[in-house]
Each structure stands twice: as C-alpha cells, then as structure tokens.
Amino acid sequence: MNKHFNCIGIVGHPRHPTALTTHEMLYRWLCAKGYEVMVEQQIAQELNLKQVKTGTLAEIGQQADLAVVVGGDGNMLGAARVLARYDIKVIGINRGNLGFLTDLDPDNAQQQLADVLEGHYITERRFLLEAQVCQHDTPTRLSTAINEVVLHPGKVAHMIEFEVYIDEIFAFSQRSDGLIISTPTGSTAYSLSAGGPILTPSLDAITLVPMFPHTLSARPLVINSSSTIRLRFSHMRSDLEISCDSQIALPIQEGEDVLIRRKVAMLAQLTISNFAIVRELEIDFHHGMTAITGETGAGKSIAIDALGLCLGGRAEADMVRSGANRADLCARFSLKDTPAALRWLEENQLEDGSECLLRRVISSDGRSRGFINGTSVPLSQLRDLGQLLIQIHGQHAHQLLLKPEHQKTLLDGYAGEQALTQQMAERYREWHQSCRTLAQHQQLAQERSAKAELLHYQLKELNEFSPVAGEFELIDEEYKRLANSGQLLSTSQQALDVLADAEETNLQSQLYTVRHLMGELVGMDNKLSGVLDMLEEAAIQISEASDELRHYCDRLDLDPNRLYELEQRISRQISLARKHHITPEELPAFHQKLLDEQQLLDEQTGSLEELLQAVAQHHQQALAVALALHQSRVKHADELCQLITESMHSLSMPHGKLAIDVEFNENHLTAEGADRIDFRVSTNPGQPLQPLAKVASGGELSRIALAIQVITARKMETPALIFDEVDVGISGPTAAVVGKLLRQLGESTQVMCVTHLPQVAGCGHHHFFVSKETDGEMTETHMQPLDKRSRLQELARLLGGSEVTRNTLANAKELLAA
C-alpha cells in the first residue's frame, strides 16, 4: 500500500506566467481538499498569497511528504538536488519544453494528481552523482547532479588533456573538449546529444561520454554505478570547470583532482525500546547534517549510545529500562550506494537487498544477542560491519588525541593507505612467525642435544648386550634344563629301568608274559582277540618309549660352562629391563625403538642456517613495507599539518601551527610499521612546537581534535558520521565556524551532531529536540524533529536560557538565516 500524504509542498519556476497559473491552481485546489500546503517563498511572493505557510526548498523537504514541481526539467533538477537529502517524494507538472522528468500533463494535472494523492502511483528511485573538487583528496568544493557532471573549459572552448581513473585504476587518457559523466536519468539529456547511450532509468550504471575527442578510438563507456571516477590533469589551465546539471559550476585550480561517485547511503531509522530511560522511540534520519539538542540530563546521547550497541558495543544489565525484561534496539541502513558493506554482507551470506537491519537485544540479566538482517551473529560481526557504516567521534576524542597510538591511527586514516597498512601487518606477521620458528628450532636443538646424549648412553649398553627378539624365552628354557640336568638323568634312568632295563622285573618282560597268556585264551575264545591286539600295541609303545628315553639320556648335556654363560646372559637382560622399567621380553623392541629415535634425530631437516636466512629475508621484506608506509605517512603528514593549521586559524587560533613528526626506527618494528608519530603544536607567536599535552589547553585541544576529525572524516567512505558533543570548550564565533564545517561535511555525507551550542545547531539541515518527562515514579525520554517555528524556539532557548525573549528569537532567526 502506497503512502498517503498530509503536507504537500509547491515548488518550481517562480516567474513563468503559465507556471504561476498552475501554482495558484494547485494551491487553491489542495487547500480545498483539506491538505496542509507549503509554498516556496518566491512563488508565494509572486502570487501575493496571504496567510500561507511558506519555506525554502530545504524547509519543504523537512516538513512536507510530497513536493509538486511546476516547470521544466531544469526546475525539476534544481529542486530534486536539494530535496534528495530528505524523506520526501517528488513529482513534476510539465511547464517546460521537453518534460523528460516532469510526468504530469498540465491540462490534466488535477485528475492525475488526485490519483497520486489517493495512493495510486509507482515510486521510481533515481540516484545522484556527487562531484568533489579535491586538493590532496580533501574536498574543497562539491555539488550533486541528477543528470550529469560535465568537465569543460570555462568561457572559451579549447582542448583539455586529462586522465581518467576508475576505482583508482588508470582507465585512459584523453584529449577532447570535455567529458560527460551521466546517470541513467541523464542519459536522455546532454549525454544523448554527445552520442551517449540511452540507459534504463533503474539501471545501476554510469556513462562516460567524451565531447569532441581528438582521436578516432574514443567511445562512450558504461561502468558500474558503485565505481569512483577520478579526473587528473597533467597540463592544467586555469579556466577548467565541473558543472552539475548545467546549473552549478565548480572551478578547478592547479594541483586539484575531481572525484565523481554515486551519492552515498545513510542511516535511515533507529528504533529504541526499553533502553535506559526510553520506553519507545522511533527516529527517521535523513541526508545532510542533523543537530540533536536538549536540556541537560534529558538524554541527548541516548540515541548515539543505542546506535553504538547496534554496532557491537559492550552491553550492561543496567542499560535495560527499570521494570522491563529486555531492551530492543534496531538500526536500519540504506546500503544502495555502499559497495563495501554490501560486499561484506554477501561474503558472510547475510545480504537482504539494498537495506540492512542491525539489531541488539539485551536481557535484564546482562546477556545480549546480535542480529544482522534477522540472522543471529556474534558481536564481532556487528563490529566489523559497523566499521563500514558509521564513524562515531565521542566527546572525549580530544583526550585520545594525546595518545601516540591514536595519533598514528588519525594519520593513517587521513592517508587512506588501507592496502599498505594491511600489507605491513601481513609482513610483520610473517617475520614474527619466522622468528618463532627459529626460536622453536633452537629450543628443539637444545632438547635434541640432551636427547641425543641420553640415547647415546642408553644405546651404548644395549648395543653391547644386543638383545634378540624371542631370545629370552629360549635361553630361559635352556637354563632351566641345564640347571636340572643331574636330576633329569637320574630320574630318566629310573624310568628306563621300570620300562625295560631292570634285570629282574620290568614292564616289557611282564607284558610279554601277559601277551603269551592271552594268546592261549584267544585260541579258546576268539572274542578276546581285541584284548590281545591292544596288548600288542602297548608292547610296541613301551618299546618305543624306552628307546626314546634311552636316547634322551645319552644326549643330556652336563656342561657347567654353558650353564654359567646362560646364567650371566639372563641376569644381564633382567637387569637392563628393570633399568628401563620393562619386562625382559620387551627389551629387544625397546632397543629397536631407541635406534629409530636416533635415526630420526639424524634425519631431521631445517638447519639453523636456513632458518636464520628466512628470518633475515622476512625482516627485510617487513622493513621495506614499513619504509614505504613511512614515506606515505611523511607525505600525508605534511598535507594534514597544513590543513589542520588552516583549520586552527579559522577556529580562533590565528597563530596556531601543528606539526607531525614521523620518526623511523627499524629497531622498533611492529605490525603498524616502524614509525613513532608525535603531534606537536604551537598556539602563540614565538612559542616553539611542543607535544600537545604540554602546550594545548583543554579548549584548544578540543578545537584541534575537532579540526582533525572533520578533515579525516572527509577522506572516509562510511555513510554516516556522528559527533557526540565534540564541540565542548568552544563558543562564540568559533562555534559558528564549527557549525559551518559540519554542515559542509553534511553536503557529501550523513552527519549527526549532539551539541549544546546554538551556533552549531543552527547549521543543521535537520534538528531533533530531546526532552524528558516524569510522573513522579518513572522518567521517560522523547526525541522529536522540529519544524521551523519549534526550531526557532529551541535555538532561542539555547541562546538565552529557559526564558525566550524577542531578542533571543531575533538572534535565532539570524542563526538560521546565516
């Protein structure tokens, strides 16, 4: 179901007769239908409308749900560039020549608009291009375009020489009269006239169309809309310009580049439930600078704290609202123009279109869970994704500025050498790992030496004894036989006598007698023949047993020397086995085990010399990257010093000067390089440069920190920046400068600023007021957007305290008009 509208803005051509007629018709028709109508100031003046709600384009963007643009495509472009920062839909009534962007026919506008107001419409989303003229990658001038950004000479046409880089990769160099960089919306405008292709409006692409190229090979180029285009000039002339939609011209000076990219994404909505003293809160955010103010203790930073938790911050049980079971926090981001975040979501299989939902649930017992697009994730993933979405600059950032490691982080953030710093960390890890391998090898070498010595001792006596598998059982048996040979011979002879050798009586002779008797009985009764057969068999067995026993006695050895040898061998084997805590039978296998260990020690590879070479090689590689990082830091330190010094002058430190010392020491190599970074400052004439902690006062330190944050933020590609009371210690004209800096930053990215200064709050494109109320038992925080009238009241309160007077209201109007 499409959104229905409550407040409708009327904007467009302020002087064209037919356009004015349509403006007046629209105003009266919409008022008659009961809508709240807001008319652009110039149009209201031309129509001489009385008692009508008027406002600038920005104010209409803040307060209206729908803007109706009456005029031609130029009016539509101019209005849309401003209104794109706000949550507002835009539709056009054609009172121009072509009407590519203005959808409604003026002759049938009422009926068509009535259908739209009833919710019968289709929303088309068109992306904008952002053009920045940069000095050392720091934007000095910028604007946006819906149709195209055009590089061209100033007043006199002439050939331009320039280089084109796409995502920092050289694409081509060209000599031509200029270059048109167009959106799909603009592909039917100036780009078409120059021979560019027509693109479907919803296509995520950008076209580069040369203007009268001085070569036959130049052709239009279509690239992904997520790409960044950089224009560099080798032979610079002073009259080059960048124009946006043929309405805004940005001059290009010597040494400046031009960056053109799709306008970045943003934090769209924050929902808070049962957090701190907030019961329920839903905040819709918009492009540009948003100021957040309120009374002391009202909870101005609660929204920032809640957002920090959505990004993986540490949770505590006392963050849950008293009496509630859990706090539920949810941040919704529009990621259409944030390829790094979209790529991260895709790599982690968490993508869900061009929006992203970060959620944090905190139980009253202190446990918490994190979610990305409805999937439960570890907090580390919330933090990883959060770094791609938002930078939060806290109110204590000026204290962090005193720490050398934070100074290094700031310098690296400005330099933008992510690839080099990542390479440094990898090279250091390789070197550190090779050092650990060497240390382990040296440790093992010592252990191997001790092991080899022990093996040598153990194997010396085992080798001398030379145990053989199965030997112990054999010699033990032989020993028992020899040790009992006398008894064996005597008893064997006695047995032999009983069997056959006794002269008087023996088994053999007695069996002979029995056999003779049984032979007579068989002659009388044949049934006894079986008994006779058995006796015959027994006679044979006794005869054979007697022969075998006689042979045994003849062979029985009574050698005492052999007995002594066996006794010594067995005794030695038992002694060695007991020494190694094994059985005698296990001694041969144990001997073989020690032999195998000795062979393994002898065969181990990876000599000390090879490892030493690897350590030296990795150290040199790490040093080479550290040196490249050092050179980059030195270069960017000079640029950053100049920019910060200029900002210090504008922030009421006219004699201020900042220097950044980058000292290279190869003996202090870390994963961040081999540099010691030291920010030094002088705030008064004749004062030498000294470390920040020794020179800068609290107020001066706050201003320096703020200048650095604003400058480095311009180099980042995160969609949103948050400044939480970073203007502490600043007042008066300096505060006005800070506000303008933040507003300028808000032209190219989303900025949220918690402040207590009216000069800063008055510079915002949007303004939220934070208040709290209590019923005597419970306290609750509210946060609401301010319209123009409410905003004047809040600025007047900030200027004069709780009592708002005519003077403070007049001053507040001046702040908004500045």
- Alpha-carbon distance values, 601 to 455, 587, 605 (Å): 10, 21, 9
Mean pLDDT over each residue of the chain, to the nearest integer: 84
- Residue 70: phi and psi, rounded to 5, are -105, 120
DSSP 694-750: HH--HHHHHHHHHHHHHHHHTT---SEEEEESTTTT--HHHHHHHHHHHHHHHTTSE
Are the CB atoms for 724 and 700 separated by under 8 Å? no
What is d(CA 727, CA 702) in angstroms, rounded to the nearest whole number?
A: 7
* Mean pLDDT confidence for 673-681: 91
Helix (H) or strand (E) holding 53: strand 53-55
- Alpha-carbon distance values, 628 to 409, 608, 618, 622 (Å): 17, 31, 15, 10
> pLDDT tens, 216-225?
788 899 998 8
> pLDDT tens, 537-557?
888 898 888 888 888 777 766
Q: How many helices (H) and strands (E) does the chain have?
A: 25, 32
Helix ranges restricted to H, 53-186:
57-63, 73-83, 109-117
- Alpha-carbon distance values, 594 to 49, 587, 605, 715 (Å): 107, 11, 19, 66
Q: CB atoms < 10 A from the CB of 413, how many?
A: 21
> pLDDT tens, 237-281?
668 999 988 888 889 988 889 989 887 657 878 889 899 888 888
pLDDT attached to residue 86: 67
pLDDT attached to residue 498: 81
> pLDDT tens, 698-736?
667 777 777 777 777 666 666 788 888 777 767 778 888
Q: What is the CATH number of domain 7-117?
A: 3.40.50.10330
Q: Residue 595 corresponds to which tokens in the numbers above?
A: 């032999």
* Mean pLDDT confidence for 122-127: 78
- Residue 397 confidence (pLDDT) above 80: no
**What residue type is assigned to position 11 of the chain?**
V
Check if 7-117 and 271-393+720-786 are the same fold: yes
- Secondary structure of 191-250 in the HEC alphabet? HHHCCCCCCCCCCCEEEEEEECCCCCCCCCEEEECCCCEEEECCCCCCCCEEEECCCEEE
Question: From the centroid of its chain, how far is CA 753?
Answer: 24
Are the CB atoms for 628 and 639 separated by under 8 Å? no
**pLDDT band (50, 70, 90) for residue 743:** confident
> pLDDT tens, 769-783?
998 888 777 888 888
- Alpha-carbon distance values, 145 to 186, 359, 510 (Å): 9, 34, 136
| Architecture of domain 129-262 in this structure | Sandwich (2.60)
- Residue 6 confidence (pLDDT) above 60: yes
pLDDT attached to residue 371: 93
> pLDDT tens, 33-63?
888 999 998 888 888 888 888 888 878 887 7
**pLDDT band (50, 70, 90) for residue 620:** very high
**pLDDT band (50, 70, 90) for residue 109:** confident
What is d(CA 193, CA 180) in angstroms, rounded to the nearest whole number?
A: 11
Please list, in sequence order, all residues whose beta carbon lies within 8 angstroms of the beta carbon of residue 444, skipping any fewer than 6 positions away.
Answer: none
**pLDDT band (50, 70, 90) for residue 150:** very high
Every domain of the chain and the residues it spans: 7-117, 129-262, 271-393+720-786, 404-633, 787-818
Determine the straight-line distance between the first and last CA of the chain, rounded to whole angstroms. Answer: 41
- Alpha-carbon distance values, 73 to 146, 147, 316, 470 (Å): 11, 10, 54, 104
What is d(CA 680, CA 692) in angstroms, rounded to the nearest whole number?
A: 5
* Mean pLDDT confidence for 69-77: 84
- Residue 196 confidence (pLDDT) above 90: yes
Q: Radius of gyration (Cα) for the chain, nearest Å?
A: 48
Question: From the centroid of its chain, how far is CA 297?
Answer: 34
- Secondary structure of 308-366 in the HEC alphabet? HHHCCCCCCHHHECCCCCEEEEEEEEECCCCHHHHHHHHHCCCCECEEEEEEEEEECCC
**pLDDT band (50, 70, 90) for residue 427:** very high
pLDDT attached to residue 603: 62
pLDDT attached to residue 164: 94
Question: Residue 15 has what DSSP assignment?
Answer: S
**Most confident region among 290-299, 303-312, 491-500 by mean pLDDT:** 303-312
> pLDDT tens, 323-368?
889 999 999 888 766 767 888 888 898 887 667 889 999 999 889 9
Question: Residue 2 has what DSSP assignment?
Answer: P
- Secondary structure of 429-489 in the HEC alphabet? HHHHHHHHHHHHHHHHHHHHHHHHHHHHHHHHHHHHHCCCCCHHHHHHHHHHHHHCHHHHH
- Alpha-carbon distance values, 659 to 309, 604, 614, 639 (Å): 36, 55, 39, 10
Q: Is 781 exposed, middle or buried (0-12, 13-18, 19+ CB in 10 A)?
A: buried
This prediction has a pTM of: 0.55
Q: Residue 498 corresponds to which tokens in the numbers above?
A: 């009983």
What is d(CA 543, CA 532) in angstroms, rounded to the nearest whole number?
A: 17
* Mean pLDDT confidence for 595-619: 78
Are the CB atoms for 727 and 394 separated by under 8 Å? no
Q: What is the CATH number of domain 271-393+720-786?
A: 3.40.50.300
400 versus 380: the higher-pLDDT residue is 380
* Mean pLDDT confidence for 774-796: 85
pLDDT attached to residue 247: 82
Using a pLDDT cut of 70, give the percent of the chain over it: 93
Length of the chain: 818
337 classed as catalytic: no
pLDDT attached to residue 480: 77
178-182: strand order across its sheet: 221-224, 205-211, 178-182, 148-152, 241-244, 248-251
**pLDDT band (50, 70, 90) for residue 1:** very low
pLDDT attached to residue 399: 67
pLDDT attached to residue 633: 92
**pLDDT band (50, 70, 90) for residue 152:** very high
pLDDT attached to residue 232: 92
Using a pLDDT cut of 90, give the percent of the chain over it: 18
Are the CB atoms for 170 and 177 separated by under 8 Å? no
- Residue 439 confidence (pLDDT) above 80: yes
What is d(CA 303, CA 281) in angstroms, rounded to the nearest whole number?
A: 9
**What residue type is assigned to position 196 of the chain?**
G
Angle at 31 between CA 27 and CA 33, to 5 degrees: 120
pLDDT attached to residue 163: 93
- Residue 609 confidence (pLDDT) above 80: no
The SS3 assignment for 661 reads strand
**What residue type is assigned to position 224 of the chain?**
N
- Residue 297 confidence (pLDDT) above 70: yes
* Mean pLDDT confidence for 456-472: 86
- Residue 749 confidence (pLDDT) above 70: yes
What is d(CA 597, CA 604) in angstroms, rounded to the nearest whole number?
A: 11
- Residue 2 confidence (pLDDT) above 60: no
**Most confident region among 623-637, 741-755, 786-800 by mean pLDDT:** 623-637
> 768 forms bridges with which residues in the sheet?
292, 785
Angle at 265 between CA 264 and CA 271, to 5 degrees: 155
Which entry of 65, 73, 305, 328 is annotated as an active-site residue? 73
The SS3 assignment for 138 reads strand
169-176: strand order across its sheet: 138-145, 129-135, 256-262, 229-232, 160-166, 169-176
808 versus 136: the higher-pLDDT residue is 808
- Residue 13 confidence (pLDDT) above 90: no
**pLDDT band (50, 70, 90) for residue 423:** very high
Question: Residue 370 has what DSSP assignment?
Answer: E
Q: Is 104 exposed, middle or buried (0-12, 13-18, 19+ CB in 10 A)?
A: buried
**What residue type is assigned to position 609 of the chain?**
E
Angle at 86 between CA 83 and CA 91, to 5 degrees: 50
